[in-house]
Amino acid sequence: MVGSGCPIFREDNPQLRVTRRMTYLKNVRSFAFALSVFFVGFLFLVTSCSNGITDNVNDDEPELEIPDNPFSAPLYWSVYEHHILQPGDQNNFISEEALSANIDWVEENLLPYGFNMIAMDGWGDVSQLNEHGYRVSHSRHWEHDYSWWADHLQSRGMNLGMYDNPLWVHMSAVDAGATIKGTDIALEQIIDRDEESLWFTWVQVDRDGAEEYVKGCVEHHADMGIRFLNVDFLSWFEDGFDKNLGDVGPDRSHENYVTALRWIREEADEHGILLKAVMPALNNEAGVERRCAHMIRISEDVSWGTWERFSEDDRGNRRNWWSQWANPMDGYAYWSHISGREKIILDGDFVRLNTFNNDEEKESVVSQHLMAGGPLGVADQHTTVGDDLWLLQNEDMLALNYDGFVGKPLDNDPTSQDSQIWTGQMSNGDWIVAFFNRESTSRTRSIDFAATLGLEGEAQVRDLWEHEDLGLMTSFSADVPPRGVVVVRIVN
């Protein structure tokens, strides 16, 4: 095993790995206001647009068609909150005991409702590498490796999701003389020691052996039993810029970014792995990511949570860097023009219900993810979830995910009030309509079934949060509480 000691280079230093992650998250919060002022010249509002925005993708890669997406959004639990709650811990890892306790809780309370994956995130250390420089375990403090945990979860009806980036090369493996799997090419040959990049050593995609290394990394995860791969910091690889830190690496050619992401997608498809692109710049209306990923992040990290982070953070402002939209409600609304059944899955990051003030906010959070066809990635732990499990066990709402439902707002301009009314159809033809209220006072939201949905005559209406059949109607109107939501199912 390469790097069984405590490595000292770049990303291989566990203390540096934790420090960089915490520094990044702190910068996002503490510099947000200052940056919004500094870059005000670059901020712009999305112009108002009619229902059904025109796809304005310039096809820079004509040979790359947008393939059908074989996946629907997953329901799962993430270790994220465990790590984010201990930013001062220089050995920020989750113990196997803590992981087991949360798995037991998920198995008892969430697995019966379809939450069938446990996902790792970007902490721990990378001191445990195989002979080709690929990571095999979360921490040097663990007794078991990822393969063991993947097998263990599968025996209990769950899968293991993974955080990694096949474009990262671990310097301890390079210095140990590791070679690329299936070749006699040294890892040294696919890196540039002189490249000025913060935190990471990146694959040079124009070097011999680069494709084999990148695809070999994805295959390595498949061999460990991984079926979900969370690939982070993609904008840093693409353009070498971070909104808080400035230049973090070179501005690579468009061709290099396309090639790298295509390699990852090709190997993911080969092994049935759901590929999630995190921190993608989404340039050219996500032209590359739509072709080369299954799921894309459309907002900042959930971080400290709260309604501020979910709805109000830099609300209504589109930026020309990642993330183009800061909060999930803006991101889901705008990017809805590229989503749909068998299309790219939009991801508004994890859910931390315990950080919200009341049930109205929490219902809105769960509803927004499900209405947009996004994943529901729960980060609340068995020690923090409190009395909120009922929000994750609402089968009337979870039916949307089971069905592969993907809704859209009446207007995808996040500054429009119509962006707060979402509609979509179940596979059996039933309509789902969600009336959100992002404001601090009650609002009346209405819809006419004939004018908006094309329904003739009366239709049966059911409230999906109250679990109440409301009777036959031709239209529906609701007084939605501040930061609340009303979701109805309309059966014609």
Does residue 403 lie within any of the structural domains?
Answer: no
Q: Is residue 205 part of a domain?
A: yes
From residue 86, how far is each of 80, 91, 93, 370, 407 by CA, in Å?
A: 11, 10, 9, 29, 36
Residue located via tokens 């230093």 = 13
Question: What is the maximum span of the chain, computed from C-alpha positions, in angstroms?
Answer: 73
Residues 192-220: b if buried by 16+ CB within 10 A, e if exposed = eeeeebbbbbbbbbeeebbbbbbbbbbbb
> Do 207 and 257 sit in the same domain of this protein?
yes
Same domain, 377 and 482: no
pLDDT of the residue at 64: 56
- CA distance linking residue 134 with residue 217, whole number of Å: 6
**Which residue type occupies 292?**
C
pLDDT confidence of residue 372 = 99
Query: Mapping DSSP to helix (H, G, I), strand (E, B) and coil, where does residue 108 land?
Result: helix
Residues 140 and 260 in one domain: yes
pLDDT of residue 91: 83
Give residue 36's Cα distance to chain centre: 24
328-335 and 359-371 helices, crossing angle to 10°: 30
Question: For residue 1, is it within any domain?
Answer: no
Neighbouring CB atoms inside 10 A of 447's CB total 19
Are residues 149 and 43 part of one domain?
yes
Residue 139 carries which side chain, given as an amino acid letter? S
pLDDT attached to residue 90:
77
Asked whether residue 152 falls in the same domain as residue 210, the answer is yes
Cβ-based neighbour number of residue 371 at 10 Å: 26
Output the pLDDT for position 121: 97
Question: Which of 373, 393, 413 delimits the end of a domain?
Answer: 393
459 and 370 in a common domain: no
Whether residue 122 sits in one domain with residue 211: yes
Query: 481: domain CATH number?
Result: 2.60.40.1180
Question: What type of residue is 341?
Answer: R
Is 2 among the domain residues? no
Element (H, E) at 231: strand 226-231
Q: Could you tell me the pTM of the whole model?
A: 0.90
Report helix, strand and coil shares of the chain as percent, to nearest 5.
Answer: 35, 20, 45
Domain residues for the domain of 450 are: 424-491
In a domain, 401, yes or no: no
Q: What pLDDT, on a 0 to 100 scale, did the predictor assign at position 302?
A: 98
| Domain final residue pick, 370, 393, 416 | 393
Give the pairing of strands 75-78 and 485-491. unpaired
Q: How many domains is the chain partitioned into structurally?
A: 2
Do 377 and 487 reside in the same domain of the chain?
no
Residue 412 lies in a domain: no
Q: What is the mean pLDDT of each run of 10 residues along the chain (492 residues)?
A: 33 39 42 36 32 41 75 98 90 96 98 98 93 97 98 98 98 97 97 97 98 98 98 98 96 97 98 98 97 98 98 98 98 98 98 98 99 98 98 98 98 98 98 98 98 97 98 98 98 93
For the domain that residue 355 is a member of, what is the CATH number?
A: 3.20.20.70
Taking the C-alpha atoms of residue 52 and residue 468, their distance in angstroms, rounded to an integer, is 31
Together in a domain, 84 and 176: yes
Q: What is the pLDDT of residue 87?
A: 84
Q: Is residue 460 part of a domain?
A: yes
Kindly give, in sequence order, each residue whose CB lies less than 8 Å from that of residue 184, ignoring residues fewer than 6 positions away: none
Kindly state whether residue 400 falls inside one of the protein's structural domains: no
Asked if 387 and 442 sit in the same domain, the reply is no
**How far apart are alpha carbons 278 and 235 in whole angstroms?**
8
